[in-house]
């Protein structure tokens, strides 16, 4: 499918076919991103971005006709007067995309009809960047392995997003991972409060990850961790004797998978729970990105979660 074909295809078509195999036919990252975003917002009358940057502004006295849901009952209980909570949408939100380009992210690249973890992460990051640009927010990119590989400034200009996507397309995942060390460096460099979106398979000690995430939060950034995992890592579908090779370590292991499957899946489950816990403690959103799942569906589900959470906060 060419870029021109994608423009002519109704966005609703993408909403039904946003699986990795279909999107793999769209080679250009900007077209993929547009397909994902336009696909899952089709038919929605309100902005799907609602909730990314809405903050409490001030109180004002209640006037007849005001929505009762926005009355601050806590203030009423103390003053016996009715006040309305007012909110405002921030402008020029800065969104910093941090994408893991270590060698382990290459897993799945040889599978026909499937994405590597990096392909999935890059498309997810591109989709979020495209979404933020549509609401005139700024986007920046950092790619990393055991050190920062590339970084761009933050800008809302359309040509800058093209630069971000070009950097992602040109990235060749390699080398080992040092996620926590890189996150500490990036946190120190981000001066202005904004949103930080991390896309990684998180091959890092969860406790060290938690310390790094806390540094973003101490600087008042909103942080989302997109945990990228291949379906093989989640399901361990191997049955025959298999030679397992390390992607980031020079090691090989010939094993009978059926004897390992139960303990492996338990270890993976425990690791995920530890990562979720450190994210929760740090006040960070955790989103699993399963490379076999519809990317549009995952992002839509997360946006709905954010929207509901914001509404509950507004009514609190």
User: What per-residue confidence (pLDDT) applies to 125?
Assistant: 94
pLDDT at 239: 83
Q: How far is 116 from 232, CA to CA, in rounded Å? A: 11
Q: Specify the pLDDT at position 110.
A: 78
**Percentage of residues in the chain with pLDDT exceeding 70?**
76
Distance CA 15, CA 122 (A): 19
Query: 287 with 246, same domain?
Result: yes
Single residue among 42, 71, 89 that ends a domain in this structure: 89
Same domain assignment for residues 236 and 101: yes
Mean of the per-residue pLDDT values for the chain? 80
Question: Chain centroid to CA 62: how far?
Answer: 39
Whole-number Å distance between alpha carbons of 29 and 125: 10
CA angle in degrees (0–180, nearest 5) for 199-182-264: 55
CB 49 within 8 A of CB 134: yes
> Quick one: pLDDT band at residue 92, thresholds 50, 70, 90?
low
In terms of Cβ atoms closer than 10 Å to its own Cβ (0-12, 13-18, 19+), residue 80 is exposed
Q: Are residues 217 and 275 in the same domain?
A: yes
On whether residue 22 sits in a domain, the answer given is: no
Same domain, 121 and 250: yes
Report the pLDDT value the prediction gives residue 40, as an integer from 0 to 100: 56
| Residue 71 three-state SS | strand
More confident position, 61 or 141? 141
Q: Report d(CA 11, CA 14) in Å as an integer.
A: 5
pLDDT (tens digit per residue) in 209-265: 999 999 999 999 999 999 999 999 999 888 887 777 767 777 777 878 888 899 999
| Helix (H/G/I), strand (E/B), else coil: 13 | helix
For residue 25, being part of any structural domain is answered with no
Asked if 118 and 252 sit in the same domain, the reply is yes
- Residue 72's domain spans which residues? 54-89
Within a domain: 40: no
- CB burial readout 29-39, b (16+ within 10 A) else e: bbbbbbbbbbb
- Secondary structure element (H or E) that encloses residue 196, with its range: strand 195-200
pTM of the model: 0.76
Residues 234 and 174 in one domain: yes
Is 221 domain-assigned?
yes
- Specify whether 205 is located in the same domain as 234: yes
Domain count, the chain: 2
| Domain's final residue, options 46, 67, 89 | 89
The answer to whether residue 43 is domain-embedded is: no
Q: Are residues 208 and 69 in the same domain?
A: no
Where residue 43 falls among pLDDT bands split at 50, 70, 90?
Answer: very low
How distant, in Å, are the alpha carbons of 233, 252, 261, 263, 273 from that of 267? 11, 19, 10, 6, 10
In a domain, 27, yes or no: no
Residue identified by tokens 């016996």 is 80
Of residues 70 and 144, more confidence is placed in: 144
Note whether residue 141 is domain-resident.
yes
Which sign does the torsion angle of CA 195, 177, 162, 125 carry? negative
**Beta-carbon-side half-sphere exposure of residue 63 (alpha carbons within 13 Å):** 3
Using DSSP's 3-state secondary structure scheme, residue 226 falls into strand
Whether the per-residue pLDDT at 191 is higher than 80: the answer is yes
**Residues 106, 212: one domain?**
yes
Has residue 290 been placed in a domain?
Answer: yes
Residues 99 and 76 in one domain: no
* CATH code for the domain in which residue 108 is found: 3.40.50.410
Residue 91 exposed, middle or buried by CB count within 10 Å (0-12, 13-18, 19+) = exposed
Same domain, 217 and 79: no
d(CA 137, CA 119): 24
Rounded CA gap, 279 and 206, in Å? 9
Q: Which of 3-12, 162-171, 294-303 has the highest mean pLDDT?
A: 162-171
What does the chain come to in residues?
316
**pLDDT at residue 16 tops 50:** no
Same domain, 85 and 149: no
């Amino acid at each position: 499918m060419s870029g021109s074909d994608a423009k002519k295809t109704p966005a609703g078509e993408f909403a039904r076919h946003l699986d990795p195999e279909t999107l793999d036919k769209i080679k250009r990252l900007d077209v993929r991103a547009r397909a994902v975003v336009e696909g899952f917002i089709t038919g929605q009358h309100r902005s799907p971005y609602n909730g990314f940057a809405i903050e409490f502004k001030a109180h004002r006295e209640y006037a007849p006709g005001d929505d009762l849901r926005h009355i601050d009952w806590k203030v009423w209980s103390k003053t016996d007067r009715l006040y309305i909570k007012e909110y405002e949408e921030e402008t020029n939100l800065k969104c910093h995309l941090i994408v893991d380009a270590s060698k382990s992210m290459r897993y799945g690249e040889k599978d026909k009809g499937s994405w590597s973890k990096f392909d999935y992460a890059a498309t997810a990051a591109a989709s979020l960047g495209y979404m933020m640009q549509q609401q005139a927010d700024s986007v920046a990119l950092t790619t990393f392995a055991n050190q920062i590989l590339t970084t761009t400034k933050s800008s809302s200009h359309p040509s800058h997003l093209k630069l971000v996507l070009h950097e992602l397309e040109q990235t060749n995942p390699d080398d080992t991972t040092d996620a926590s060390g890189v996150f500490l460096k990036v946190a120190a460099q981000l001066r202005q409060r904004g949103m930080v979106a991390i896309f990684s398979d998180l091959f890092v000690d969860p406790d060290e990850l938690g310390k790094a995430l806390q540094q973003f939060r101490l600087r008042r950034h909103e942080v989302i961790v997109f945990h990228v995992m291949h379906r093989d890592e989640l399901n361990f579908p191997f049955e025959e004797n298999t030679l397992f090779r390390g992607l980031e370590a020079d090691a090989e292991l010939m094993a009978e998978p059926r004897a390992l499957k139960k303990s492996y899946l338990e270890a993976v489950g425990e690791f995920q729970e530890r990562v979720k816990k450190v994210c929760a403690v740090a006040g960070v959103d955790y989103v699993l990105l399963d490379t076999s799942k519809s990317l549009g569906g995952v992002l839509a589900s997360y946006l709905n979660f954010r929207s509901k959470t914001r509404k509950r906060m507004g009514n609190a």
